[in-house]
Structure 1
Amino acid sequence: MLLKQSTTLLSLCVSESEVVPDTVLALDAAELRKLDESLVTKLTLVKGIGVWSVHMFMIFSLHKPDVLPVGDLGVRKGVQRLYGLKELPLPLQMEEICEKWKPYRSVGSWYMWRLMEAKGVVDSA
């Protein structure tokens, strides 16, 4: 699965010899975002791996700073509490509300988990 991800990067850089920092830095941000979208698409093809699992992998293993796990109950409850919402926000609402957190939505998510932990809503273990 990850081989296809790097193949996509190779196609953006034209050739393997061109996968160097200057070439990658010159890539358009929209093109680089497609790589993350591709990762979600490819990994969710594996039975038992869903979008939430991919988001957690991107946050905790790949250390991506701008991942918003819109399906995570702790993050959703944290956003609900922080912004005084009557209902749990839906994924599209989460995207809209947390837009201002960019490019650090992973950090914002971590704070939502800590907020819920501090309020005794989730166990810290």
Structure 2
Amino acid sequence: MEEAMQRAARALDAVESKSVFREDSGTANLIEGLKRTLTTKGRKPYTFAISCQTPSAHTLTLTLRRGDTTSEWDVACGDREADQFDIPGGTPFTARVTPVSGQVEGIISWRLDTVGAEDVQDCADDITGCES
């Protein structure tokens, strides 16, 4: 389990921008899943990064929800870089990963950071999405 936590931390560090300021972070077992409401105050941009580590290939579904708007994303376990989602400041949002049933062992690690506007990727709001 310790090795999995180290790999997850490296995956999160791999996507960390220079302007980052840590707001919140955590780790959960796959069997427990993740359901966390996160606060995003003001107008500054945030980045939610998530990594999953398992002994074998596995994909999770991350659900991001703010108000009535929901988006779903696949997160592949074992990637060297965490999946990263841009979230604008404002009302709280919920990040959820359904608990994994069966004998799948592993961990989910996540971070919520504020970032500089220059570090926001293609879409400034990965919950509502952006039209091309």
With the length of structure 1 as denominator, give the TM-score of the two structures: 0.23
- Compare the two structures and name the one with the higher strand fraction: 2
Highest relative contact order (Cα 8 Å, sep 6+), 1 or 2?
2
With the length of structure 2 as denominator, give the TM-score of the two structures: 0.22
